[in-house]
Amino acid sequence: MASGPAFHDLSNDAIKGMVPSEALQKHLENAQLAHRLCVAKALKAEEPPVEKCALTWGEVLIRYQAWAEYRPPFQDSVAQAKYTKYWTKKRQAEDDKNPFK
């Protein structure tokens, strides 16, 4: 018996232990896998995949948008130190004066 691709465990207990970016990525991967399986089944049954798999494609799109829009909190001390060192008050004032922004 051949084992196919496996979905990620996204139960409430599993999600509690994940950082938000990881949970979003796993939801996206599950949606992509479901869509690939839907397309494969539609093609095997000689049905039009565009009509048959519109819902799974919609879920992929929604999950991708959620994943792409997520920005983790800016709490990295190294990054914060570089940011503070670069954006001095003088540099910020010069940047604010730039008419091409």
Domain boundaries defined on the chain: 12-97
100 secondary structure, DSSP code: T
pLDDT in tens, the chain (101 residues): 456 678 988 888 888 888 888 999 999 999 999 999 999 999 999 999 999 999 999 999 999 999 999 876 666 778 788 888 888 889 889 888 888 86
Q: What is the rounded CA–CA span in Å between residue 66 and residue 42?
A: 27
pLDDT, position 55? 96
Q: CA 65, 66, 68, 70: dihedral to nearest 10 degrees? A: 150
pLDDT, position 1? 43
Q: What is the rounded CA–CA span in Å between residue 63 and residue 22?
A: 12
pLDDT, position 74? 63
- The SS3 of residue 24 is helix
pTM for this entry: 0.65
